[in-house]
C-alpha cells in the first residue's frame, strides 16, 4: 500500500513539474517573440519574390492583378513596398488599365497604391475610348473606387494628340480624365 501511494505521489509531482516547465517554456517563447517585434518595429514581417497576385471582387471576378519581382510588407504601418510593379486594373470594359513604374507603395492592403518613378498608365482602345498612354512622376490609385490621380506633370498620348498638363484625375471605370491645370494639346498626325 505504501509503495502504491509513493508511486502515485511521485507521478503527480512529476506531472506538476512537467506542466510548470511547459508553461514556463511557452511564456519565455512568447516573451522572446514579442520583444523581438518590439525591438525592431521597422523590420519587415514578410518578403516575397516573383509575385503574381489576383484580387477578386465580391462577384468573384478579377478586379486587380499585381505582378512584381519583389514585395516587402511592414506591419508597423501596414504598407507593402513593391519593386517594378506591373498592375492591371480590371473594369467593366473589355480592356483593363495597365500601370507600370519602378516603385510602388500599397497602404492598407490595396486600398491605396502610390506609384513613383517612371509611371506609365496605358489603356488599349475599346468601343468607348481611344488607345491612351499617360506618363507622370507619381500616381495614386484607389482600386476600389476605380480612380487615379496625380498633382505632377502628366503627358497624355492618344492617336494624333499629345496633351501636357499639371495634375490629373482619372475615372478608370469610364475612362474620363480631368486635367487640373496648365493643359496644352498638340495635334500630331500619324502619317
The domain segmentation of the chain, as residue ranges, is: 1-39, 46-187
pLDDT of residue 139: 96
pLDDT band at residue 9 under the 50/70/90 scheme = low
Higher pLDDT, 183 or 26: 183
Q: How many helices (H) and strands (E) does the chain have?
A: 1, 11
Largest CA distance in the chain: 109
20-24, 25-29, 132-136, 181-185, range with greatest mean pLDDT: 132-136
Higher pLDDT, 93 or 135: 135
Range with lowest mean pLDDT among 3-7, 59-63, 87-91, 140-144: 3-7
**Which pTM value belongs to this model?**
0.75
Render pLDDT for 171-191 as a digit per residue (tens, 0 to 9): 988 888 899 999 888 887 776
Q: Which residues of 64-99 are buried (b: 16+ CB within 10 A; e: fewer)?
A: bbbbbeebeebeeeebbbbeebbbebbbebebbbbb
Degrees to nearest 5, angle at CA 169 with 92 and 172: 10
pLDDT band at residue 116 under the 50/70/90 scheme = very high
Cα torsion angle, 28, 30, 34, 39, sign: positive
- Are 76 and 41 in contact, with CB atoms under 8 Å apart? yes
Render pLDDT for 31-51 as a digit per residue (tens, 0 to 9): 555 544 555 667 888 888 998
Share of the chain above pLDDT 90, in %: 42
> Is the pLDDT score of 57 beyond 90?
no
pLDDT of residue 176: 85
Render pLDDT for 63-98 as a digit per residue (tens, 0 to 9): 889 999 999 998 888 899 999 999 999 887 778 999
Beta-strand pair 177-187/161-171: antiparallel
Range with lowest mean pLDDT among 14-28, 95-109, 117-131, 171-185: 14-28
Beta-strand pair 132-142/112-123: antiparallel
Q: Which residues of 158-168 are buried (b: 16+ CB within 10 A; e: fewer)?
A: beeeebebebb
CATH class entry, domain 46-187 = mainly beta
At 59, list the grid cell.
Answer: 462577384
- DSSP for 123-145 reads E---SSS--EEEEEEEEEEETTT
Burial (Cβ within 10 Å: 0-12, 13-18, ≥19) of residue 150: buried
| Mean predicted lDDT score pLDDT of the chain | 84
Amino acid at each position: 500500500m505504501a509503495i502504491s501511494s509513493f508511486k502515485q505521489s511521485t507521478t503527480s509531482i512529476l506531472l506538476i513539474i512537467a506542466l510548470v516547465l511547459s508553461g514556463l517554456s511557452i511564456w519565455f517563447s512568447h516573451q522572446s517573440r514579442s520583444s523581438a517585434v518590439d525591438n525592431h518595429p521597422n523590420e519587415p514581417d514578410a518578403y516575397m519574390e516573383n509575385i503574381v497576385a489576383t484580387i477578386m471582387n465580391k462577384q468573384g471576378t478579377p478586379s486587380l492583378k499585381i505582378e512584381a519581382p519583389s514585395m516587402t510588407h511592414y506591419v508597423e504601418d501596414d504598407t507593402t513596398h513593391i519593386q517594378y510593379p506591373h498592375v492591371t486594373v480590371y473594369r467593366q470594359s473589355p480592356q483593363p488599365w495597365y500601370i507600370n513604374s519602378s516603385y510602388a507603395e500599397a497602404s492598407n492592403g490595396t486600398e491605396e497604391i502610390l506609384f513613383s518613378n517612371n509611371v506609365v498608365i496605358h489603356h488599349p482602345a475599346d468601343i468607348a475610348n481611344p488607345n491612351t498612354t499617360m506618363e507622370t512622376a507619381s500616381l495614386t490609385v484607389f482600386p476600389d473606387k476605380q480612380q487615379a490621380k496625380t498633382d505632377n506633370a502628366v503627358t497624355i498620348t492618344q492617336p494624333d494628340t499629345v496633351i501636357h498638363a499639371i495634375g490629373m484625375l482619372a475615372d478608370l471605370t469610364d475612362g474620363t480624365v480631368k486635367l487640373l491645370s496648365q493643359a496644352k494639346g498638340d495635334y500630331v498626325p500619324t502619317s
